[in-house]
Amino acid sequence: MILPILYEAFLSFKMTTSNDRLLHCFILEDEKHQVGHLAGFIDQTIGLTFAGSSANALTALSDVTGPGGPDLVFLSNYVHGMNGIDFAQAVKGHTTIIFISSMPWRIQEIFPDEAFEYLPKPISYEAFLKCIGRIRKQKYGACHHFG
C-alpha cells in the first residue's frame, strides 16, 4: 500500500525538480518568525526552492525584477520602504505575487479583478500547498503532488 504512494512521490519529484519546473521563492516580510515559517514550508515542498528574503521592499525590488529573479514572491502588506500593494504593482510581469496577510479581504477590495493569490495569516501548510498547486496548474497546466 505504501509503495504506490512512494512511487507517486518519486515521479512527482522527478517531474518537478527539472530546472524549468523548479519554482524559486522569495519572501518579502518584516516579521522574522513569518519568514522562518514560510521558508520551512518552501524547504519541505518538492519543486520549490528558497531564493532569499528581505524586510525592505526597496532592496528587494532589484532582486525580484533583475536577471534570475524569483518565480514567486510571498509578500506582506506592510514592509519597510514601500507598502505591499505598491510593490506588487512595481514588479507586475516579473513574478507571481502571493500576498500574506492577516487582512486578506483588503487585497480583494483593492484589486478585485487581479489574479493575485493570497494566504491568510497564520499560514497553514495545507493552505500553502493548495496555493502552490493552483499556481503550478496556471503555469504548467498540470497539478503535481507536493509534500
Q: Tell me the domain boundaries of the chain.
A: 2-139
- How many angstroms separate the Cα of 123 from the Cα of each of 20, 61, 69, 145? 27, 24, 24, 19
Task: Report the C-alpha gap between 24 and 21 in whole angstroms.
Answer: 9
pTM of the model: 0.80
Query: What pLDDT does 37 receive?
Result: 98
Task: Dump pLDDT digits (tens) for 8-46.
Answer: 444 444 444 455 689 999 999 999 999 999 999 999 999
Q: Which three cell numbers stand for residue 36?
A: 522562518
Q: Residue 109 has what pLDDT?
A: 66
pLDDT above 80: residue 105:
no
The answer as to CATH 3.40.50.2300 being correct for domain 2-139 is yes
Confidence of residue 146 (pLDDT cuts 50, 70, 90): very low
- Which percentage of the chain shows pLDDT scores above 70? 74
Give residue 134's identity as a one-letter amino acid code.
R
Q: How many helices (H) and strands (E) does the chain have?
A: 6, 7
Predicted pLDDT of residue 5: 42
